[in-house]
Structure 1
């Protein structure tokens, strides 16, 4: 059993950067490092070079450890973007680029899998792995963190079941089902999150500054890692992660069933179910539309446009995955913004409206929503946007001190190596600190009822949003307005 007085290292392989955090068992951050990574986007194509991940990890961990030389590290875990996949050879060497979580080139492979009875979305890892096999030849299906953990321990490692979920791994039965067109030798071995994969080898220690012999623990996806960092692990609690895109994760006693595959269920190391979904709306639209803007100044100017003169559904890339599945969906802008500030406001509000629809869809499925809501992700750096989102949702949100996936991975490593048979909440109750709770401003929620209903009409008329879901969302909007905006969730 590891010493609980040690520090714990979490590594997050994000879309735009690699982040590392060194954290004590009581949640104190001792050091951090962040290094940008590049991607190649071109229409449906979104790739990254796996070699750049390792270079960034080495730099980020060295930065995190720079001011704490000699700190005893009890273990580390790594998370990555859900659905990002590549092929490797038998030694773990990448055979080509990685297809990122929103690469849309495998629609035909996904359709064939669905016709054969396999529940997948177009951007899930399994169809993309088949696309890569057709394009580059056979190889071992490998998820993003596996590349890094293999480099850390010095040999190929099993995948964790969280990242393997979008490769159609059966997390309930803990086994690969029969997958048409996928040879058995292409599938990695799979272990549960929190399983020790090995220890940091001497070569990796020299490159990363992480001491040789440090245990390396199987991680979870970035959405699950952010959920751990939020502490939203008790039934009915939810975490909304807003970064480049939007991910919602909750906790439930039983899986939330969704035959469309829009909502899927991860499983935590302690066995509880973590239902959720990943949208393609998010903060990425801001950098794409306003690459040189000062976000704080634009937020200040946007406050004069509540609501905006336009209604947006701000997709970062073509196609939507949650709260509805529509590979053909494109970004919407209903109306013409009066100015750049009004357009900025429309984008901020559009993400909030999509977030509201995600919660309405979860309610439509019968998911428990009566626990507290937390916000994590890079968007929490904007106080204005955080307040706006709570206004649109009509419910308060907790903001953790360190709302990022890297802290979740540090907590997972700590849990796995100090109290693996206990509930994960035993660890997060000690390591996750709530900085503040943001409440909706009186009267502000009602401002967004009309834009929300207008958006529902537009999504339904295009055939993207199913009529029963739209009807359920309209009913909830009416209930919320009748109750002064309090019908969308319970106060915590």
Structure 2
């Protein structure tokens, strides 16, 4: 029997690495429907690809599941987030013409060096100093070189979220400033820097129009309406990257607040009153609501290593066994090789400090290694002058592991808030709700509800501090961590 709805509902869509998710909520954060559909990737060394045609298939399935039993006209607007730096080339009608290079694909290393040289003054002015091979602009150069047969066609750079939005609306649409950042968009001047792109040999017509997140892009088209059940004309507003979406979903909107998202990779997002500059290019800033900036970065390490190393193992059993072990060995896990944040080291690779003789010991070492990396992330952003003393939230799939979550709080020595509904899709529902005229801060305060507080255990502070010191020294000894960062860490309490 259909649910009776007398209020507007907001649809948020999140396209991640492993699945597409959809969430329907009201203005008080009550969930009326949720759905998901799996996605598959292909990895080969530094290459990581997905078939972009599968994204829309997964989004349709997730959306239909989320809308089950909900009246067709209840959804008042929708917004989409997707992985940051995932790009492809599309034709004039918005159809994929190339493979999709995923957010952590690092094949464009030589192109990144060219981009750094050509655009150095601008990248420094924008706060990140240089571009990483995994960023969208180097990958755009790689795609243009890889596919010379497209030179005679009308083609356009397309971010992952752009492709989903164009499918919802029925024609190509503008991208948003959040996704355009890694493509070289000038967030200070609010324009594509034509001088840089001319020197790189990128035709200006390849670049999409750019709008701010929350901007009305168009209405749901005929085909999308038939596939998803969303009425024609339902507003589609420009979304954000998945990290920014998770930040909104966690209610992280005030200056000094931070959201740490531990999913396949570890992503940190915060709020600052000023543009934060990182000469190493590991941290970068999105534009936030009002006059705020959203500094953050994404590591190459995270919970994805658990699935890679342990597959279908009994993770609950491993967690129970790990919790009974003393704090000991730690593993720095990377899939694939190379680190992006909190430092840049293309040659970084997995290592183990100490000896773990059992599966539970290795599992515990992995959890501890990621916790150490997370602390280094916070030390790094503090070193760069970003405010870090506001509220801290943990989100992401890894928060389901209570032992790991407590370990992370203990390692940081900070009280942590765990939101009740920690999903990027919720962040997009919040953004969609701003189409009614409310501010992002008011929408977040209204929709983000519930959760619990986690207090660090001081009894483990000394041993965790020592393991963290060991971790930092190991990174320094391998030449991956700048000595200035290591020195700063040693001065922190």
Equivalent position of 1:155 in the other structure = 171
Q: Which residue of structure 1 lines up, in the alignment, with residue 294 of structure 2?
A: 274
Query: What is residue 126 of structure 2 aligned with on the other side?
Result: none
**TM-score with structure 2 setting the length:** 0.93
The one of 382, 407, 419 aligned to 1:363: 382
Q: Residue in 1 aligned with 2:408?
A: 389
Partner residue of 2:425 out of 399, 406, 417: 406
* Kept after mapping to 1: 8 A contact 2:72/2:230: no
1:483 is aligned to none
Mean Cα deviation higher: 389-398 or 312-321: 312-321
**Which of 117, 132, 152 lines up with 2:143 in the alignment?**
132
Aligned to 2:444: 428
Which position in structure 1 is the counterpart of 2:391? 372
Using structure 1 for the length normalisation, give the TM-score. 0.94
| Alpha-carbon separation, structure 2, partners of 1:215 and 1:270 | 23
Q: Per-residue deviation at 1:4?
A: 10
Provide the rounded CA distance (Å) in 2 between the counterparts of 1:181 and 1:473. 42
Partner of 2:220: 200
Secondary structure at the counterpart of residue 19 of structure 1: strand
Choose from 19, 22, 30 the match for 1:20: 22
2:234 aligns with one of 214, 219, 235? 214
Kept after mapping to 2: 8 A contact 1:7/1:71 = no
The match for 1:419 among 437, 462, 466 is 437
Give 1:442 deviation, angstroms. 2.8
Shift of 1:9: 0.3
Q: Which has the larger displacement, 178-187 or 361-370?
A: 178-187
Equivalents in 2 of 1:222, 1:110: separation in Å?
Answer: 23
Cα deviation, residue 144, structure 1: 0.2
Q: Are 1:252 and 2:272 counterparts? A: yes
Alignment check: 8 A CA contact 2:273 2:293 kept: yes
> Runs of 5+ in structure 2 lacking a partner?
121-129
Aligned length: 471
Q: Which residue of 2 aligns with 1:489?
A: none
What's the offset of the Cα at 1:228? 0.1
Q: Structure 1 residues 10-19 or 265-274, which shifts more?
A: 265-274
Three-state SS of the structure 2 residue aligned to 1:174 is coil
Structure 2 counterpart SS, 1:443: helix
Q: Select the residue among 436, 443, 456 that pairs with 2:459.
A: 443
Secondary structure, in 3 states, of the residue corresponding to 1:108?
A: helix
State the shift of 1:90 in Å.
1.1
The answer to whether 1:301 aligns with 2:321 is: yes
Please say which of residues 171-180 and 47-56 is displaced more in the overlay.
171-180
2:73–2:231: 8 Å Cα contact kept in structure 1?
Answer: no
Tell me the residue number matched to 2:74. 72
Larger mean CA deviation between 270-279 and 48-57 belongs to 270-279
1:184 positional shift = 0.5
| Equivalent in 319, 322, 339 of residue 341 of structure 2 | 322
Does residue 187 (structure 1) correspond to residue 207 (structure 2)? The answer is: yes
RMSD: 1.4
Equivalent residues of 1:245, 1:316 under 8 A apart: no
From the superposition, tell whether residues 4 and 186 of structure 1 become closer, same or farther in structure 2 (CA, over 3 Å).
Answer: farther
Helix, strand or coil at the partner of 1:20: strand
For residue 33 of structure 2, the aligned residue among 31, 36, 59 is 31
Asked if structure 1 preserves the Cα contact closer than 8 Å seen for 2:273 and 2:291, the reply is no
Output one character per residue of 1:60-107: Cα deviation in whole Å (capped at 9) or x when no partner: 000000132335111000000011111111111111210001111000
1:473 Cα deviation from its structure 2 partner: 0.9
User: Which consecutive segments of 4 or more residues in structure 1 shift more than 4 A?
Assistant: none
> Which residue does 2:352 correspond to in 1?
333
Which of 312, 316, 323 is the aligned partner of 2:331?
A: 312
Residue 418 of structure 1, CA deviation:
1.6
Tell me the CA shift for residue 259 of structure 1.
Answer: 2.1
CA drift at 1:5: 2.9
Q: CA deviation at 1:462?
A: 1.4
**Cα deviation per residue 1:339-372 (whole Å; 9 max; x = unaligned)?**
1001000111111100000000011111101101
Alignment partner of 1:117: what SS? helix
Distance 1:472 1:290 in 2: 35
Q: Over residues 396-447 of structure 1, what are the superposed CA-to-partner deviations in whole Å (9 max), with x where a residue is unaligned?
A: 11111110100000000101x1225x3x211100100141011112312222
Residues 193, 269 of structure 1: 8 Å contact kept: no
User: 8 Å contact 2:73–2:230 — kept in the other structure?
Assistant: no
Deviations, residues 169-221 of structure 1 (Å, cap 9, x unaligned): 11121111132222111111111100110000111011112121110000000
Secondary structure of the residue aligned to 2:119 is coil
